[in-house]
Structures are given as structure tokens and as C-alpha cells.
């Protein structure tokens, strides 16, 4: 049996990646070298002059001539590798990396002082604040447990529970914090496993079936990962993308995102189930029914639905309803803020508990991402990068439409395995959006933005790709021996092919079918292009 003892983990020597100070210095060095030592590219100087960006920056008193304006754009570009290093190595907490964005903007006078604060706030951060608060209440009252046990409690046999698990977790993961779901469900899966293998074992000695343990845990983990495409509420990275579109005057509604993303989730969930059942087809234990009693026990322990659960459920449905039908007047932030008010007014959660439960680290990071997006856009750095990458992609025939979406989603999907999904969107979004706009294809920049954001849900093949992976690995322990059910290399072994499958499904069903069936509003490309070229500023 391939076990990796948790005790042994403690004796591991810290690797190069854990040397935070080293990476802190490397990131800062990158910023200094690009920002202050490497000369400003002539193409960047020409661009800020030709597109009248220099004129705008001089008018805002943040640059005194064209060369100075181009240098400001270069400083913004220098922030990107620094942020990549900090996100990938966690040399700084992600929230602090977010705070660096407005801080640098203030100290290097990259934008007028009043604009910096505005870029850090807006509808998207308020939306995210509400999403995070809703998560605190829903998890706090245990509604996620109730939903999971309702969905899985009735299943029997082997294939049906796996399919129901994957499809339900992917759909639930579109609306409820996947991390919280992973934290609740991983021990439940361990209990299902123990129940199933115990039924096949002699009294006293449990005969383990490691393949079954992996099947259950990876099905859970990957299904929760792919749920991220379903709605903007699935995670902060989607909110960041919504914020970038708003910056280009082409905001997308909550319902519109769901039209492109939600139909993908059950299909991706089914793909996870199908692939997992194929890979682990040789499991010894082919009946999960005795193990599923663990879920029934959980349901029994919970008793009837409590007042707090009912209010939380009603609040969730109301907010979802308002997000979908509320339209542009309510925005996304308006309904989301109800998640802060309703729990306190109806006394189902304490105000301090909500404040304590919100991940401010994530929130600061998202706000910082919006500032970085604005900095890239306003200084012309985004346009310069977009032209640079488009030039390269055009040379290989991937400069627009499907080719561009496939290229961008592949890159985003790859990057998200090495760093946080939100970090990936935060850094790629401000570049992808202008690339889409400059390609001039109808439907941009929504199409490329969705392509970038969707792929960030496929962090399947590295354990550090998403908290879901780390949580399932951390909590996936054989209860009787304390040994780990999966090893970090298993993510590469079972996640890589699934990563490819998920991307292909997104290309075919998402880009080729849903983009055409749902369509894109007329004129969004032109509106966004006008903003990009500073004509509407």
C-alpha cells in the first residue's frame, strides 16, 4: 500500500520555495532591474506618444514628457514579474501583494492621487465583499453540509454516488465556497471510504483499498475545482474579470456569465466522474452503500432544518435572484451587501463573526488586482503588451477568435497550477482584455476574458494550484492508520490528463457552442476599444 505518513511530513527539510526572504528580494530585484536599469523600449515610447497616452498623463501631471510617460508605463510592467514571483512563492501574503499596487501607484505617482483610490474600490470589490460574507454565514450555519447530505444521502451502489458527487459538487461549487465544501466533504469521503472497506474486511483488520480512497478524494476535489466556471460568485477571480470589463465600459451581468458558464459545470462534472471511474476502474470495493450510511448519519445528526439555516437559504436565493434579474441599476454589489445586513438583522450570525470570517487577505488582493488593471490600462502598458503578444500569436495563426481563446485559456490554465487562480486572473486579465479588443473580433473582450477566467478553475495537477487540492490532501487521511490517502505526485498523475480534458471541453462546448448559441451583444468590442485607445476618457 503506498502510504505517506503524516508524521514523516514533519521531518521534511524546507525547500527553496519556502525561503520567503530570498523570493522577496528576487521579486524586488526584478522590479528594480526592469523599472530602473533596462532602458524603456522604443516601441513603448512610440505607443504612448501615438495613442496620446503621454498627453493624457502629462495633463494629469503624472508625467512631464513622452519619455517620462513611457517610463511610468515601464514601471507598471515591472510590477508584473514581481507580483508573479510573490504570488507563486507566497513570499508575501496575497493581500499585501494587492496593497503594493496602490502603494506603488502613490509613491511613483503612476496615476492622479484621486484616481488611485477609485481604482481600489467600485462595484466589483463590494460584490466580492458580499460573496465572502455570504460564505461566512452559509458555512457558519452549516447550510453547505445540509445541501451536500441532501444531494448525496439517497445514493446507492458505486457509479451513481460518484456521478452524483461530481455533478453536484461542480454545480454547488459555482455558488458556494469550494474551499469550505472541500473541508467539510473530505472527512465525509474518508468516512464513506471506511464504511465501504470495513464491510469487506474481517473483524479487527481493515483491508485497505487505496485506489478507492483516491477515487473518492480526487472526484471530490476535481469536481469542486471545475465548479469555478459556473457563476461569478464561484470565486474572486471571476469577480476580478467582471471588474476589468467594467473598467472598459462593457460590464457583464451575473445572469449573462451563468449563460456561458453554468451549462459547462455539469458537463465538466460528468467528465471528472467519467475520467475518475475509468482511471480507478480496478478498485476492489465496488459498493459504496455501506459507506454512504456515514452521510445518512450526518443528516440524522443535523436534525430538522434550523431557523438559521432557513434564513441563510432564503438569503442566498434572494441574492442570487437579485443578481440575475436586478440589472445594471442594482449592480452586483447592491444585492451582495444584503449578505452583510440580513444575517445580523435576522440574528443568525454575529456581526463580529462575519467580520472575522471574511478573508480580508483575498479582498485586498482583488482590490489590488483592479488597481493593477487600471494602471496597465491608463499608462498604455496593457496596450503595448497586447500588441506584443498579438504579434507573436498572429505569426502562428492564433491571433484572434478561437485560436486566441485556446491559446489564452491554455496559458491561464497552466499558470493557475503554479499560483493562485485569483493571482492568475489578476495578472493575465489586464493583458488578455486588450488583446481581445485589439483582435477586433465581435464579442471581445468578453470572450477572451471568459476564456482566461474559465481556465483558472482547472488547477488540477499541482497540489499548490488551489486551496481545494491542498485541503483534500491535508484532510485525506486513513482514520485507522493516520496515513495519507494521496500523495502530492498523484495530482500530476491523475490531474494532468483531466486538465487537458477540461480545457478541450471548454474549447468545444464553451467557445464553439455556447459562445455561438448565447452570442455577444453588438458594439461591446467598439465600446471597449474606444476606452482602450483613451478616446472616451
Rounded Cα distance between 463 and 182, Å, is 14
For another protein, the binding residue among 160, 480, 504, 523 (CB under 8 A) is 480
Of the listed pieces 11-19, 59-67, 246-254, 498-506, which binds another protein according to CB under 8 A?
Answer: 11-19
Burial class (CB in 10 A: 0-12, 13-18, 19+), 479: exposed
Among 461, 426, 460, 511, residue whose Cα is nearest residue 224: 460
Task: Tell me: does residue 492 bind another protein (CB under 8 A).
Answer: no
For another protein, the binding residue among 240, 312, 319, 471 (CB under 8 A) is 471
Phi then psi for 527, rounded to 5 degrees?
-60, -45
Of the listed pieces 214-222, 339-347, 359-367, 522-530, which binds another protein according to CB under 8 A?
Answer: 359-367
> Site map for another protein, 16-45, x if CB under 8 A?
-xx---------------------------
Q: How far is the CB of 226 from another protein (least distance, A)?
A: 17
Using CA atoms in the order 343, 349, 351, 354, what is the torsion angle rounded to 10 degrees?
-90
The crossing angle, in degrees rounded to 10, of helices 210-226 and 467-475 is 160
Instruction: Using the minimum distance from each CB to another protein, give the nearer residue, 187 or 255.
Output: 187
Q: How far is the CB of 258 from another protein (least distance, A)?
A: 25
Neighbours of 480 (CB within 10 A): 12
Burial class (CB in 10 A: 0-12, 13-18, 19+), 300: exposed
Question: Which residues, in sequence order, are CB contacts of 243 under 8 Å at separation 6+?
Answer: 122, 123, 124, 125, 366, 369, 370, 373
Instruction: Using the minimum distance from each CB to another protein, give the nearer residue, 3 or 52.
Output: 3
Instruction: Using the minimum distance from each CB to another protein, give the nearer residue, 14 or 304.
Output: 14
> Site map for another protein, 282-301, x if CB under 8 A?
------------x-------
Of the listed pieces 111-119, 369-377, 436-444, 478-486, which binds another protein according to CB under 8 A?
Answer: 478-486
Instruction: Using the minimum distance from each CB to another protein, give the nearer residue, 272 or 486.
Output: 486
Instruction: Using the minimum distance from each CB to another protein, give the nearer residue, 56 or 460.
Output: 460
Q: How many residues in the shown chain lie near another protein by CB under 8 A?
A: 39
Task: Tell me: does residue 464 bind another protein (CB under 8 A).
Answer: yes
Kindly state the cell numbers that stand for 13.
Answer: 527539510
Q: Which of residues 101-140 bind another protein (CB under 8 A)?
A: none
Task: Tell me: does residue 416 bind another protein (CB under 8 A).
Answer: no
Q: How far is the CB of 178 from another protein (least distance, A)?
A: 10
Question: Which residues, in sequence order, are CB contacts of 215 under 8 Å at separation 6+?
Answer: 162, 276, 277, 279, 280, 283
Instruction: Using the minimum distance from each CB to another protein, give the nearer residue, 7 or 522.
Output: 7
For another protein, the binding residue among 56, 179, 460, 529 (CB under 8 A) is 179
The SS3 of residue 5 is strand
Among 499, 506, 397, residue whose Cα is nearest residue 448: 506
Instruction: Using the minimum distance from each CB to another protein, give the nearer residue, 20 or 286.
Output: 20
Neighbours of 299 (CB within 10 A): 15
Task: Tell me: does residue 475 bind another protein (CB under 8 A).
Answer: yes
Q: Which of residues 242-281 bind another protein (CB under 8 A)?
A: none
Of the listed pieces 318-326, 338-346, 440-448, 457-465, which binds another protein according to CB under 8 A?
Answer: 457-465
Burial class (CB in 10 A: 0-12, 13-18, 19+), 7: exposed
Of the listed pieces 47-55, 244-252, 268-276, 477-485, which binds another protein according to CB under 8 A?
Answer: 477-485
DSSP tag of 440? T
Instruction: Using the minimum distance from each CB to another protein, give the nearer residue, 44 or 475.
Output: 475
Task: Tell me: does residue 203 bind another protein (CB under 8 A).
Answer: yes
Are residues 6 and 482 in contact, defined by beta-carbon separation less than 8 angstroms? yes
Integer angstrom CA distances of residue 189 from 60, 308, 356: 58, 26, 29
Specify whether the backbone of 440 is left (phi greater than 0), alpha (psi in -120 to 50) or beta.
left
Question: Which residues, in sequence order, are CB contacts of 19 under 8 Å at separation 6+?
Answer: none
Q: How far is the CB of 117 from another protein (least distance, A)?
A: 25
Rounded Cα distance between 44 and 38, Å, is 13
Phi then psi for 369, rounded to 5 degrees?
-60, -40
Of the listed pieces 118-126, 309-317, 340-348, 458-466, which binds another protein according to CB under 8 A?
Answer: 458-466
Question: Which element (helix H / strand E) includes 287?
Answer: none
Task: Tell me: does residue 149 bind another protein (CB under 8 A).
Answer: no
Task: Tell me: does residue 463 bind another protein (CB under 8 A).
Answer: yes
Residues near another protein (CB under 8 A): 12, 14-15, 17-18, 89-90, 93-94, 179, 183, 187, 191, 194-195, 198, 203-204, 294, 359, 361-362, 420, 463-467, 469-471, 473-475, 479-482, 488
Amino acid at each position: 500500500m503506498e502510504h505517506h505518513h503524516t508524521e514523516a511530513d514533519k521531518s521534511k527539510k524546507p525547500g527553496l520555495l519556502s525561503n520567503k526572504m530570498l523570493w522577496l528580494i528576487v521579486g524586488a530585484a526584478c522590479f528594480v532591474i526592469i523599472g530602473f536599469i533596462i532602458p524603456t523600449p522604443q516601441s513603448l515610447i512610440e505607443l504612448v506618444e501615438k495613442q496620446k497616452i503621454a498627453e493624457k498623463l502629462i495633463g494629469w501631471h503624472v508625467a512631464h514628457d513622452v519619455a517620462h510617460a513611457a517610463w511610468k508605463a515601464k514601471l507598471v510592467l515591472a510590477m508584473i514579474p514581481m507580483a508573479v514571483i510573490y504570488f507563486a512563492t507566497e513570499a508575501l501574503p496575497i493581500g499585501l501583494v494587492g496593497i503594493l499596487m496602490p502603494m506603488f501607484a502613490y509613491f511613483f505617482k503612476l496615476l492622479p492621487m484621486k484616481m488611485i483610490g477609485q481604482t481600489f474600490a467600485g462595484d466589483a470589490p463590494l460584490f466580492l465583499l458580499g460573496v465572502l460574507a455570504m460564505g461566512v454565514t452559509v458555512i457558519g450555519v452549516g447550510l453547505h453540509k445540509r445541501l451536500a447530505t441532501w444531494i448525496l444521502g439517497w445514493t446507492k451502489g458505486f457509479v451513481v454516488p460518484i456521478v452524483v458527487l461530481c455533478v453536484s459538487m461542480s454545480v454547488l461549487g459555482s455558488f458556494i465556497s469550494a474551499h469550505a465544501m472541500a473541508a467539510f466533504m473530505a472527512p465525509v469521503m474518508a468516512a464513506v471510504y471506511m464504511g465501504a472497506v470495513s464491510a469487506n474486511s474481517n473483524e479487527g483488520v481493515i483491508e485497505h483499498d487505496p485506489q478507492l480512497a483516491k477515487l473518492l478524494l480526487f472526484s471530490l476535489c476535481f469536481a469542486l475545482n471545475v465548479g469555478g466556471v459556473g457563476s461569478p460568485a464561484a470565486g474572486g477571480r471571476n469577480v476580478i474579470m467582471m471588474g476589468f470589463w467594467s473598467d472598459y465600459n462593457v460590464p457583464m451581468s451575473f445572469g449573462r456569465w451563468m449563460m456561458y458558464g453554468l451549462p459547462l459545470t455539469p458537463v465538466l462534472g460528468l467528465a471528472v466522474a467519467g475520467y475518475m471511474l475509468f482511471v480507478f476502474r480496478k478498485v476492489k470495493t465496488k459498493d459504496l452503500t455501506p459507506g454512504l450510511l456515514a452521510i445518512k448519519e450526518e443528516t440524522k445528526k443535523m436534525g430538522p432544518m434550523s431557523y438559521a439555516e432557513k434564513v441563510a437559504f432564503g438569503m442566498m436565493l434572494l441574492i442570487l435572484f437579485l443578481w440575475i434579474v436586478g440589472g445594471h441599476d442594482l449592480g452586483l454589489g447592491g444585492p451582495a451587501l444584503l449578505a452583510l445586513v440580513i444575517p445580523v438583522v435576522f440574528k443568525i450570525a454575529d456581526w463580529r463573526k462575519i467580520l472575522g470570517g471574511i478573508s480580508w487577505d483575498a479582498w485586498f488582493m482583488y482590490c489590488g488586482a483592479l488597481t493593477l488593471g487600471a494602471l496597465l490600462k491608463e499608462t498604455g502598458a496593457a496596450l503595448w503588451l497586447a500588441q506584443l503578444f498579438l504579434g507573436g500569436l498572429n505569426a502562428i495563426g492564433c491571433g484572434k477568435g478561437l485560436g486566441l481563446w485556446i491559446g489564452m485559456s491554455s496559458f491561464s490554465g497552466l499558470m493557475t497550477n503554479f499560483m493562485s487562480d485569483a493571482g492568475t486572473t489578476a495578472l493575465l486579465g489586464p493583458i488578455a482584455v486588450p488583446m481581445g479588443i485589439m483582435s477586433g473580433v465581435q464579442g471581445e473582450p468578453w470572450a477572451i476574458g471568459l476564456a482566461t477566467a474559465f481556465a483558472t478553475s482547472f488547477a488540477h495537477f499541482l497540489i499548490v494550484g488551489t486551496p481545494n487540492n491542498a485541503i483534500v490532501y491535508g484532510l485525506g487521511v486513513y482514520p485507522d492508520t493516520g496515513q495519507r490517502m494521496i500523495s502530492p505526485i498523484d495530482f500530476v498523475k491523475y490531474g494532468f490528463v483531466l486538465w487537458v480534458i477540461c480545457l478541450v471541453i471548454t474549447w468545444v462546448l464553451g467557445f464553439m457552442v455556447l459562445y455561438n448559441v448565447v452570442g455577444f451583444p453588438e458594439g461591446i468590442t467598439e465600446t471597449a476599444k474606444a476606452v482602450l485607445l483613451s478616446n472616451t476618457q
